Structure 1
Amino acid sequence: MRLGIDWGGTKIEIIALDDAGEEMFRKRVHTPRDDYNGCIEAVAGLVAAAESSTGQTGTVGFGIPGSISPATGLVKNANSTWMNGKPLDKDLQERLSRPVRIQNDANCLAVSEATDGAAAGAHFVHALIVGTGCGSGIAVDGKAHRGANGIGGEWGAIPVPWMKDEEFPGPTNWIGHRGCIDFWCSGTGFQTGYQQETATDLKGPDIMELKRAGDPTATKHYEIYVSRLGRAMAMSANLIDPDVFVLGGGMSNIDELYNDLPTAIAPYIFSDAYEVPIRKAKHGDSSGVRGAAWLWND
């Protein structure tokens, strides 16, 4: 049995998978925010509940909104800031009395979709989380690509490429960089542009309904969003040339993206031809927690 845990800022979720990837148990609890030890205990309670329900002991994998620094062994770059600077893997191993494997949550999305999702069997997968924030993960032959310094796939921290004059220098993100993918290619970035022009506080799905009804302002901001995401994906294509792109997060539910992004990507590709599938995550919101379980897929 494989146990996967998705440790997010608002909820911690566990799933138990059998060898065929079938769900055996699932439960979520609210994240004890700003309480590192409380989070460790919440995880221990979820593991105990899963093993009690199934009568089995499982391997444990974690997806977290950050990564473990190879230099210090401590969590870095987590937007759940109370885990930064903590020896999370050591603390979890001690509390659970077993080895654990930890990856960035976007890497878990990539692993999940490469294992039995939208990119099953693909050699090189670039998975993009386009939701409240925007990040990415890479899987090679179904394994997370962490990188030598634990920053493999940190695509969101890069400025949107081929920046237009009116975009420069761009808004500041949470780490103080300007014009980055993690804001402009997120659902938050899409909504903010529309809100700034119209002084109307609408969410992404509402803006898309207006766009589908022919509203010119909603259409303009959708096209701006597609251009920015397309340029960001073209940079990935030129750099790592994945076999498949997979989209997860709330913006991945916009069906028009799968038709419009190839056109937005094409002008920036350094090749005479480019054709790579862009697919919606098969497991949706479950991909992160499933990918954490599949970290033990040796």
Structure 2
Amino acid sequence: MLHLGLDIGGTKMEAVLLDEQGNSITCERRPTCKTTYHEFMQELLSLIGSIRQRSPVPFSVGIGLPGALDPVSHVIKNSNCLVLNGHDLKADLSRALQQPVWLANDADCFTLSEAVDGAGAGAGTVFGVIIGTGCGGGIVVNRALLSGPNAIVGEWGHNPLPGYDAMQDGPAQQCYCGKLNCIETFISGTGFSRRFGANITAPEIISLVSEGEPAAVAHWAHFIGAFSRSLASVINILDPHVIVLGGGLSNVDLIYETLPDSVVPWLFSGTCRTRIVKAKYGDSSGVRGAAWLPTMDMS
């Protein structure tokens, strides 16, 4: 059977059709329609129809999107694609397509992709981390996504930064969620660049680090320290076999040279056997994970 994955973002929708071995049959991208929910649905159905015309056989449908599916009301909440909030996309799309549809948070899809056939393939427990605009996460155990009654599994970015100290970490940081000093405000790409100041981007800061610019080097050292404390708190609870990093900052190779050793002092252990690795599929992990969602119920 073939598996269609759809990744709905704030600016684009991406579709990829995979075979059972994970090979891409066809793919397509379109801008995300954010005018009204009805128009969004029409564009999404058009995208699926376009893939269907090119598919030799029927396919399952899985969707990854920012936000969460409320486990009680089944409507979408906390999505930055605002027209989706308050709607039961899963039921509406299933009705329109006359077939089942699977839906999950984009960070969950990222983690599932990397656990199934990515950098965490074969590992019992995989913790997926996205350090980009935000700081999300997901957990896969034995190739199955964990889920809970609050629909917030893996949302480690909204825990407070462990061991926050104003002398070490600077002024308290206000998070968009309304709380202070969320991990996301320190180690997401957005937080990393904002806290450095000077109106420069994360890649520009990394360039300064490579040149040995003192302020950038000190800022990077703090980033690794905050990242280490944050990951150690996860490892102490979950003890995953693999941590897979995605998002813009995950492409900085220096992370993998310094982070693993920096985590150890914060662990309830003298060593750290958890592998910390870069995502195999990069920006494509989310849409591939969406394609694999139905296989969790079919295995």
Matches of 1:109 and 1:67, distance apart in 2: 14
Is the 2:13–2:29 contact (alpha carbons within 8 Å) kept by the matching residues of 1? yes
| 1:231-250 deviation per Cα after TM superposition (whole angstroms, max 9, x unaligned) | 11111101111110000010
1:139 is matched with 140
2:278 is matched with 280
Letter paired with 2:65: I
| 1:50-103 deviation per Cα after TM superposition (whole angstroms, max 9, x unaligned) | 110123221000111111111221112223233222112111111222111111
1:51 is matched with 52
Q: SS of the residue aligned with 2:253?
A: coil
Pick the aligned partner of 2:213 from 207, 215, 225: 215
Q: SS of the residue aligned with 2:64?
A: strand
Aligned-pair identity (%): 39
1:235 is matched with 233
Is the 1:143–1:295 contact (alpha carbons within 8 Å) kept by the matching residues of 2? no
1:96 is matched with 97
| 1:207-263 deviation per Cα after TM superposition (whole angstroms, max 9, x unaligned) | 111111110011111111111111111111011111100000100000010111123
2:39 is matched with 38
2:249 is matched with 251
Q: SS of the residue aligned with 1:107?
A: helix
| 1:157-204 deviation per Cα after TM superposition (whole angstroms, max 9, x unaligned) | 111111123347722222211111222110011111111xxxx22111
Matches of 1:239 and 1:24, distance apart in 2: 39
Range 67-76 or range 250-259, more displaced:
67-76
Letter paired with 2:12: K
Range 276-285 or range 173-182, more displaced:
173-182
Letter paired with 2:120: A
Letter paired with 2:182: C
Is the 1:4–1:289 contact (alpha carbons within 8 Å) kept by the matching residues of 2? yes
Letter paired with 2:54: S
Establish whether residue 12 from structure 1 lines up as the match of residue 13 from structure 2. yes
1:175 is matched with 177
Is the 1:169–1:178 contact (alpha carbons within 8 Å) kept by the matching residues of 2? no
Seen in structure 2, the aligned counterparts of structure 1 residues 168 and 75 have a Cα distance that, compared at 3 Å, is farther
Seen in structure 2, the aligned counterparts of structure 1 residues 242 and 84 have a Cα distance that, compared at 3 Å, is same
Is the 1:245–1:278 contact (alpha carbons within 8 Å) kept by the matching residues of 2? yes
Range 269-278 or range 128-137, more displaced:
269-278
Q: Residues 178-193 of structure 1: matches in 2 within 5 Å?
A: 178-193=180-195
State the TM-score, normalized to the length of structure 1. 0.95
State the TM-score, normalized to the length of structure 2. 0.94
Q: How many residues align?
A: 294
* Residue 272 of structure 1: how far off its partner (Å): 2.9
2:269 is matched with 271
Letter paired with 1:177: K
Matches of 1:242 and 1:76, distance apart in 2: 28
Letter paired with 1:173: C
2:63 is matched with 62
Range 251-260 or range 137-146, more displaced:
137-146
Letter paired with 2:156: W
Q: SS of the residue aligned with 1:119?
A: coil
Q: Say what the alpha-carbon RMSD is for the aligned residues.
A: 1.4
Range 75-84 or range 117-126, more displaced:
75-84
